[in-house]
Structure 1
Amino acid sequence: MKVLGINGSHRAGKGTAALLQAALDGAAEQGTALGVPVSGELVELSRLDIGFCIGCNRCLAQTSCALADDMNDLYEKLRDADVVLLASPDYFGTVSARMKNFMDRTRPFHMVENVLTGKVGGALSTAGLNNCGGEGTLALLDSWFATQGMLAVHPRTQGAPLAGGVVATGFAGLSEEGQPQWRSVKADKIGFALARQLGREATCLAARLA
C-alpha cells in the first residue's frame, strides 16, 4: 500500500512536516498490525518547481497539464497512491498559497476522467490559535477530496472526542495578563495523537477497499 503525504508549508521539515510524518508513521504502524506492507512518502511542495495554472483549458480534453514542471512527477505519485494525506498551515483561515496552487494544478484529474476516485484521503493542519483558522483549512482540504471523488477519513480516538480534526497549534495558554503564550506546534500532544490516528484509519479503510 502506498501512502503519499503532501506538505503545503513554505517551510520544509518544520512543524507541519512533523505532523504529517506522524500520520505516515501511524499508517505504517497500522499496516504492520494488518500484515499489509505500507510504503510512505512525504513530499515537500516548497522543494518543487510548480507553476501557476494559466487557465489554458487544455485539461478539458485530457488528463494531463500543458505545463512542464515538477507537477508531472507528482501526478504520477498521485496516480500510484492508495492514500493521499494533505497538510497545510493555516494562512488567514485557509490553506497556504503553495497548497492552493497544488490543488489548482490537479484540475486535469477531474475534468474528463475522475483519476483519483475511490482513493482514501486525510487532511491535517497547523495553526497559531485553537479554534481559529485550522477549521477553514481542513474544510478546504476536505472539499478537494470531495471534488476528486475521494473518501476522506476523519480520525476518532478511543473515548471522548478530542477535536473535530487534525490541527496542531502553537497556542500554549494565556498569561496572567491575558496575553497568548506560544510553543512549538510539535508540543501539541492532542494534534499529534490525532495525526497518528488519521494515518491508522486511512490505512484501515484503504485495506478494506483493496
Structure 2
Amino acid sequence: MHILAINGSHRAGKGTAALLQAALEQAAACGAETELVELARLDIGYCAGCNACLAKPTCTLSDDMDGLVEKMRVADGIILGSPDYFANVSARMKTFIDRTRPLHMAENVLKGKVGGMVSTSGLDNCGAEETMGVMDRFFAVHEMLVVHPRPAGPVLANGATGSQFAGFDERGRVQWRRVEDDTTAFAFARQLGVDMAELVRRLVEK
C-alpha cells in the first residue's frame, strides 16, 4: 500500500507541505508506505497541446514529469496539496495537472486509485474551497475515488483547508498565524491520512 503526496506550493517545506506530511504520517501509522514530492524542486514544462497523447498514453516532452508519472502509476493513493491563488490552484499545480493528460486520453491509467487533497490560504472563506474543488475535479476526470475526511465530533470545516487567519484585534485589524497553528485543518489532514489508508486497504484486499 503506497500513498504519494504532491505539493504544488512554490515554497517547499512550508504550510502546505506540513498539512500533506500530517496526512502521510497517519497513513504510515496505518501501514502505508508514503512519499512527499515537492513540485517546486522539479523541472516540469507546460503542456504544448500537441495532442500526441490522443493516440497513446505518452508525452512528447521529457522532463521531471517522467519520473513523477511512474510514481503515480505505482501509487495506490495520491494526495494533492496547493495554496489558494485567486480561488484556484498554484501555477505549478495547474501545470502538473495539465501534464497528466496522457494518463487520461488514450487510457485511464489512474482509474480506481484513491485521491485526497489539502489546501492553504491567507484568509478564511477566501478561495480555499474553490482550490479544493479544482483538485477534486482532477480526481473526477481521472475516475479516482476521492476521500473527503470528517473527524469524529461536531462538524468544524469542509476539508483540510489551512489558514493563516487568526482573527481580529480590538481595533479590527487582522491577526496572523502560521498554517501549522491551524488545529482544525491538521485534524482534517490527519483524518484524511487514516481514511485514505483504510480505503486503499479495502480495495487491495478485495
TM-score range, shorter chain: over 0.9
Alpha-carbon distance in structure 2 between the residues aligned to 1:194 and 1:25: 13
Structure 2: any 5+ residue segments left out of the alignment? Answer: none
Structure 2 residue matching 1:141: 3-state secondary structure: helix
- Following the alignment from structure 1 to structure 2, what is the Cα–Cα distance between the partners of residues 166 and 107? 26
C-alpha distance in 1 between matches for 2:13 and 2:117: 18
SS of the residue aligned with 1:205?
A: helix
CA-to-partner distance for each residue in 1:45-89, whole Å, 9 max, x for gaps?
A: 000000000110000011111001000001100000000000000
Matched, 1:82 2:76: yes
Provide the residue aligned with 1:40 in structure 2. 34
- 1:34 matched to which residue of 2? none
Matches of 1:43 and 1:90, distance apart in 2: 19
* Equivalent-residue separation in structure 2 for 1:143 and 1:23 (angstroms): 20
Q: CA RMSD in A?
A: 0.6
Q: Describe the SS at the equivalent of 2:30.
A: helix
Matches within 5 A, 1:1-210: 1-31=1-31, 38-210=32-204
Aligned length: 204
- Identical pairs, percent: 60
Amino acid at match of 2:11: R
3-state secondary structure, aligned to 1:168: strand
The amino acid across from 2:162 in the alignment is A
**How far, CA to CA, are the matches of 2:58 and 2:35 in structure 1?**
22
Runs ≥4 residues deviating over 6 A: none
Q: State which drifts further: 175-184 or 136-145.
A: 175-184
How many angstroms does 1:95 deviate by? Answer: 0.4
* 3-state SS of 1:59 partner: helix
TM-score by length of 1: 0.96
Q: State the TM-score, normalized to the length of structure 2.
A: 0.98
Q: Which amino acid aligns with 1:40?
A: T
User: Where does the alignment leave 5 or more consecutive residues of structure 1 unmatched?
Assistant: 32-37
- How far is the alpha carbon of 1:114 from its aligned partner? 0.4
Give me the whole-angstrom Cα distance separating, in 1, the residues matched to 2:29 and 2:69. Answer: 26
> Displacement of 1:180 after TM fit?
1.0
Q: Secondary structure at the match of 1:173?
A: strand
